[in-house]
Structure 1
């Protein structure tokens, strides 16, 4: 009876593959978790704190609400600063994860997000200066003037942040293209990321052209960001992103 060759398995191949895929999995989880934390902290700082304590056109009420809840306002500003920091971390993680797809686009996407984070930090600094203005007692300015200055700073925060959203929208558009070029990520996420990016850019230019309008399409088109975060945490990096498997 002819002997049959028994296939052998290289004991090092599995460990080499694990070592190859593990970094991609780690940066995927880091990016996805970072995006989810950004969403939570951004909602707290922007909606729970800023939107709640700042009343457009009413300097007196805004001053009373902020001075009446100094701890909450401080936590909201701190949360937004953390968001800006996490944007840089997420930019790095997404760069590492999508670099095998297209290194040039991955770098562009990362640079755009870091640039947005820098603009956002400048915007947040305007909010950080509000309590100091309201705590002034006497001096060259009256109470009404100080309250007006504080309200003006919240307006500058919004305007600078809105300008930065053009960069963020461009980042999402490039990121969506990377997802579409990837063989691992679902194409629908890439399409929705492109829609989300267009939504942010639309909001910025619409606010410039129609300053009295309150339309914000990004409150609807953000779904792509959330789906990308979930995919990165659950499945991202489990297969080599430049491969053909899904």
Structure 2
């Protein structure tokens, strides 16, 4: 990992793993199992596909742990460009990691309620299903809070823009994705009635920024030069 090209390729691979595990655990599994405002249907789906639900939890944990290594490699790649922005990128990124770890406890609590252990016999089935739905809702809002740390993309984007060995347009897209995350985070808290509209608009930069940098790092890497000369 002594050249920008090699380091960029490693970063691209780690970023791809992060994206796949994150998509599976955060988007795919809830999309398959959770039925909005229907606790009974959600409970039935989870119990019928318990292994899928558990895989989603594990996928989130892998995504969080692997993100630490991704940030380290990105810091190695870009710290010579600007240490302040590189440090802020890592700090904001690392804040998200404990949020993701703790957030999985809501899913574990929901599954425990639905499986109906003996100590939960004081609750009837409908009460347990409603409580499970509450925990799943808290899990979703855990990410709403966590997406505030999307600010790491702003500093990541600035570093890419200034690097000279990565296309500047990728930096612009990453900065736009940062504001997409902030919109997704603040709208449910401040303007919940506009959540769907803002979410649809915010998804445009989100579906362009990070996928673009992942593909570029994997396929093209970066202009090959020693890391110490990257600045």
Judge same fold: TM > 0.5, yes or no: yes
C-alpha contact (below 8 Å) 2:156/2:171 kept by paired residues: yes
1:207 paired to 2:192: no
Matches within 5 A, 1:1-246: 20-21=2-3, 24-137=4-117, 139-168=121-150, 170-212=151-193, 213-215=195-197, 216=199, 217-222=201-206, 223-240=208-225, 242-243=229-230
Structure number with larger C-alpha Rg: 1
Give the TM-score taking structure 2 as reference length.
0.89
In structure 1, C-alpha distance between the alignment counterparts of 2:108 and 2:8, rounded to whole Å: 33
Q: How many residues align?
A: 223
**Given the superposition, is the C-alpha separation of residues 64 and 52 from structure 1 closer, same or farther in structure 2, using an over 3 Å criterion?**
same
Deviations along 1:104-153, whole A, 9 cap, x unmatched?
A: 21111011111112212222221122211111155211111111111011
Q: Where do 4+ consecutive residues of structure 1 move more than 4 Å?
A: 241-244
In structure 2, C-alpha distance between the alignment counterparts of 1:110 and 1:77, rounded to whole Å: 24
Give the TM-score taking structure 1 as reference length.
0.84
In structure 2, C-alpha distance between the alignment counterparts of 1:26 and 1:148, rounded to whole Å: 50
The structure carrying a bigger helix percent of its residues is 2
Task: Provide the alpha-carbon RMSD of the alignment.
Answer: 1.8
The alpha-carbon deviation at position 219 of structure 1 amounts to: 2.2
Structure 1, unpaired ranges of 5+: 1-18
Of structures 1 and 2, the one with the larger relative CO (CA 8 A, separation 6+) is 2
In structure 2, C-alpha distance between the alignment counterparts of 1:225 and 1:125, rounded to whole Å: 27
In structure 2, C-alpha distance between the alignment counterparts of 1:47 and 1:119, rounded to whole Å: 17
